Structure 1
């Protein structure tokens, strides 16, 4: 696995976390469902490829329990 792949997974995790926060803040159920799906996909990719996510870039997950 390349460092650029891991960096891209981490960037996606940061974007997914930001989307989750925005959807919760805006109380947007549709956006929340999409953001949760993206978060789960990023977590799956990270797990499968052994990418360790930065606490400041990958937290909090859905429900802040990830």
Structure 2
């Protein structure tokens, strides 16, 4: 796996996490459902490729969040 691929997964996961937090903050139920799906998909993708997305950013969730 390339470093660029791992970085792309991390960036997309970070964006998905930010979108999820914004949707929750805005109490937008539809956006929350979409963002949760994206976040879970990216968590699975990262796990399948051995990419750590849970650390390295100050506002990303801990494992299992």
The answer to whether the superposition gives a TM-score over 0.5 is: yes
- Structure 2 counterpart of 1:34: 34
Higher relative contact order (CA 8 A, sep 6+): 1
TM-score (ref. length: structure 1): 0.84
* Runs of 4 or more above 6 Å deviation: none
Unpaired runs of at least 5, structure 1: none
Give the gaps of 5 or more residues in structure 2. Answer: none
More helix by share: 1
